[in-house]
Amino acid sequence: MKMTVKEFLIRFRPLLGLLILAVIVSLLSPRFLTVSNILNVLRQTSINAVMAAGMTFVILTGGIDLSVGSILAICGAVAAFMIANGFDPYISIATTLLLGTVLGAFAGVIITKGKVQPFIATLVAMTLLRGATLVFTDGRPISTGFDEASDVFSWFGTGYILGVPVPVFIMLLVFAVSYYILKYTRFGRYVYAVGGNEEASRLSGVRVNRVKTAVYAISGLLSALAGIIITARLSSAQPTAGAGYELDAIAAVVLGGTSLAGGVGTIFGTLIGALIIGILNNALNLMNVSSYYQMIAKGAVILIAVLMDRKK
Amino acid sequence: MTKTPLLEMKNITKTFPGVKALDNVFLRIFAGGVMALLGENGAGKSTLMKILSGVYTKDSGEILYNGKPLTVRDPKDAQNKGIAIIHQELNLIPELTVSENIFLGREPVNSFGKIKYSEMNSLAAEYLGRLGEKTSPSEKVASLSVGQAQMVEIAKALSMNAEVIIMDEPTDSLTDVETENLFKVINELKNDGKALVYISHKLSEVFEVCDRATILRDGTFVDEKPVSELDEESIIQLMVGRPLLERYPRSECRLGEIIFEAEGMTNQLVRDISFQVRRGEVVGIAGLMGSGRSEVAKTIFGVLPLISGEMRLEGKQLKVSHPADAISEGISYVSEDRKQLGLILGMTIKENITLPALKKYQNAFRHVSYDKETETSQEYIKKMSIKTTGPSQKVVNLSGGNQQKVAIAKGVVTEPKVLILDEPTRGVDVGAKKEIYELINLLKADGMGIILISSELPEILGMSDRILVMSGGRIAGEIVKADATQEKIMALAISGLTQTA
């Protein structure tokens, strides 16, 4: 397919934004463009990026998931608890992922069968699960301990393959699989269709409730995965982990050009969006900007990006 | 009657990505006159009117109003300058009341900024009254029928006291009585010296209310003539560029065995519906709006529950609780509302067409084959002469008639045994209508059973083998083709009505 320059620019605007940001940052801070710093940025981005991938599925159907940060926290706590109590690390991980999926699916059922708005349903889930995490951990961090199982587990957060951090591989795998699902499977097409027009999709034989439940399950699964990465990295689970992460995940999706109204967007865009946020955080740290001003800077950049995206 | 026009559009050109929608088009609108704007779907009528009402901006050309150049920045600006448009799509806010919708943005307020509801409601009632519409001004628009909502839309245009009023397919969803009331109002407006533009595919209406007609074809200006110098044939010839031989090209087809059967089908909206459809048969369902026609279709398709009674497909009991069940059993439904219920406007033609049958396009690894999808949609684009830049064009950028063809293609792509067409030619021009009828002929020759729901009696009479007439949620009677007349259908359609119709 032939593309004009203008169409090309519109299509790859998020990528262009990322490149411009990278150039500016590398000019401002010489330490930015070093291999170790780039790997560092990628690893720091991976947690938000993995959650944002799940969020992309949800937002494409026209929904929203505010519970991701709380799912991350409770799943991280459960994983740490299991490791500390001598469970096999792989069984612990599988159980944690299953828990995240079930929690997400449960929110999906409340939304579809209970006909509750996604914002409200996931807001409730966010509050409930945060409370549950605090009860479960008694408000204290859970350490994974120092045995062999703990070492195996912590590899998922701290390990390297060919010099590249494991979380970065996990992130790339998540995006590759998500890309395939959204672009080439029937389910992926249904996700876009439901976001485009729910009623017309139903009349076209799409089982809308199943699709919607599934996207929240996916979001829950990937939040659990993010919880595992963060817990493995710190060798302990914090009861307040992931608080506010839902907003970073949503910001990544929106920066990537996905419409909050549903039906339009790409997973590739979300990866770019997550990287923009990651680089921004990193750059502000490198430049020793105080964390108070960091928030202002981050808000301003997101605002500019979203305003630019309006002008099509 | 020959005088200078109140408003004149000259050499209007408008290009969309990939398409020249309008090329040097002219339009003159006279005070005290009704100008018909005619053309096939995609001829550029709606685009031209959207330019006049400020929705689109023109690429070149000029607009003269009272002889002076006029620029229209946006729809609000057009309203302020005395140009009101009644859009084909309803632009009302469902959760607001009738009067709130009519006066949206122009609410009468007291000095504290509080809306004067009683004044607003009585004014709204007055405008509705002129249209012979009894809807209460304090009722929510969401609870109105499509026809009533259309009348509210017309009342809104009246309330603006505009000098130029554009009506885009205003009677599409109106009943005959409502249409007559509208025509009375149009004549009053004419006598008041207002200038009107009337867009319609129903040529009989053009002869009834219009004085002059402007004809467009493929985005170009063809001719402007007094209606008295035209007849249906010459208009069609100007619109299509060639004579159209037959309006309803129904072909004879041997009827096969019974394929679908309903017995005592009952739920909240329809009662005791029993009928049969044979292979190769077109069963028409006529009736007034709200008589339960679409509800019968939706029950068969699994959208509405079946509370008692039975349905059988090829002799076997049919149980459907979701449209997906109906589709996999071999039933398709093409909805009357292509924008809300039929199509996913933001998706491409091919994504829309293959959506109900996506399973067929998967290969190993559950991979959807884009090539196969493109191939299928190209077939339909050719078979149904859909005017498009290609299978990857977004449906939202197609004209109404071409959108309808995509909606019908969606119904056919699953290769159903029974196809239900609900108002398949609403808002579609004569040329495209004929193509849809020809497709019906092809499908029934393949042994499909077709249920045709329509408000257009000539269409029902022209295309059906048998006609069921519904009234008040029941089948009021059945007429075989040989005995059917418009009068008989209407008599049955109003037979079951009490005063509260």
- Domains of chain B, by residue range, sit at 7-240, 256-330+416-501, 345-413
Which of B327, B341, B362 is opposite residue A200, by nearest beta carbon?
B341
A199 at B interface, C-beta within 8 A: yes
What strands, in cross-sheet order, belong to the sheet with B19-29?
B68-69, B60-65, B7-16, B19-29, B220-226, B212-217, B33-38, B195-199, B164-168, B83-86
Beta-carbon count within 10 A of A250 CB: 22
A190 → chain B, closest CA residue: B355
State which residues of chain A have pLDDT below 50: 1, 312
d(CA B353, nearest CA chain A) in Å: 10
Of all residues in chain B, the one with the smallest CA distance to A181 is B367
Structural domain boundaries of chain A?
38-310
Helix, strand, coil abundance in chain B, percent, nearest 5: 35, 25, 40
Name the DSSP class of B7.
E
Is A186 in Cβ contact with B358 (below 8 Å)? yes
Along the 501 residues of chain B, how does pLDDT read in single tens digits? Answer: 457 899 999 999 998 876 778 999 999 999 999 999 998 777 888 889 999 988 899 999 999 999 899 998 888 889 889 999 887 667 888 899 999 999 988 888 888 888 899 999 999 999 998 888 888 999 998 888 877 888 898 888 888 888 999 998 888 778 788 888 889 889 988 998 999 999 988 888 999 999 999 999 888 999 999 999 998 888 888 887 766 556 788 888 888 999 999 999 999 999 999 999 999 999 999 988 778 999 999 999 999 999 999 999 999 999 999 999 999 999 999 999 898 899 999 999 999 999 999 988 988 777 898 999 999 999 999 988 898 999 999 999 888 889 999 999 999 999 999 999 999 998 787 788 888 999 999 999 999 999 999 988 889 999 999 999 998 899 999 999 888 888 888 888 877 654 333
Please enumerate in sequence order all residues whose Cβ is within 8 A of that of B415, keeping only pairs 6 or more positions apart, or say none.
B330
Say what the pLDDT of residue A31 is: 87
Q: How far is A260 from chain B (nearest CA, A)?
A: 14
CA distance B335 to chain A (A): 8
**B474 neighbors B273 (Cβ within 8 angstroms):** yes
- Distance to chain A for B344, nearest Cα, Å: 5
Residue B321 forms contact with A (CB below 8 Å)? no
Pick B355's closest partner by Cβ from A199, A204, A207. A204
Question: How many cross-chain Cβ pairs, A to B, lie less than 8 Å apart?
Answer: 74
B344 neighbourhood in chain A, CB within 8 Å: 193, 196-197, 200-201, 263
A11 touches chain B (CB under 8 A): no
Is it true that B7-240 and B256-330+416-501 share their CATH fold? yes
Among chain A residues, CA nearest to B335: A203
Q: Which of B181, B5, B168, B199 is nearest to B85 (CA)?
A: B168
Alpha-carbon gap: A202 to the closest alpha carbon of chain B (Å):
7
> Rounded to a whole number, what is the largest CA-CA distance in chain B?
74
Cα–Cα distance, B324 to B147 (Å, whole number): 30
Q: Which pLDDT does position B242 carry in this prediction?
A: 67
Report the alpha-carbon distance of residue A182 to residue A70 in Å, rounded. Answer: 26
**Class of domain B7-240 (CATH, top level):** alpha beta
- The CATH T-level fold of domain A38-310 is ABC transporter involved in vitamin B12 uptake, BtuC (1.10.3470)
Token pair recorded at residue B402: 């071409």
Residue B475: which residues within 8 A CB-CB, separation 6 or more?
A: B272, B273, B274, B275, B468, B469
Which of B328, B344, B366 is the closest to A196 by Cβ? B344
Please give the structure tokens belonging to residue A175.
């995006």
Look at A264 and B324 and tell me if their CB atoms are within 8 Å. Answer: no
Alpha helices in A159-256 (DSSP H): 166-184, 186-196, 198-203, 208-234, 245-255
Residue written as token pair 């004419």? B190
Please name the CATH architecture into which domain B256-330+416-501 falls. 3-Layer(aba) Sandwich (3.40)
Cα separations (Å) of B44 from A49, B48, B90?
Answer: 46, 6, 19
Q: Which of B347, B348, B362 to mutate to test the interface with A (most CBs of A within 10 A)?
A: B347
What torsion do the CA atoms of A68, A69, A72, A73 make, to the nearest 10 degrees? -140
The two tokens of residue B383 are 């078979």
Alpha carbon of B219: minimum distance to chain A alpha carbons (Å): 25
User: Taking CB atoms and an 8 Å cutoff, what residues of chain B touch A190?
Assistant: 358
In chain B, residues with a C-beta closer than 8 Å to the C-beta of A197 are 340, 343-346
- The three-state DSSP-derived secondary structure of B90-117 is CCCCCCCEHHHHHCCCCCCECCCCCECH
CA-nearest residue of chain B to A197? B344
Task: Quote the distance between the C-alpha of residue B236 and its chain's center.
Answer: 19
Which residue from B327, B345, B359 is facing A197, i.e. has the nearest CB?
Answer: B345
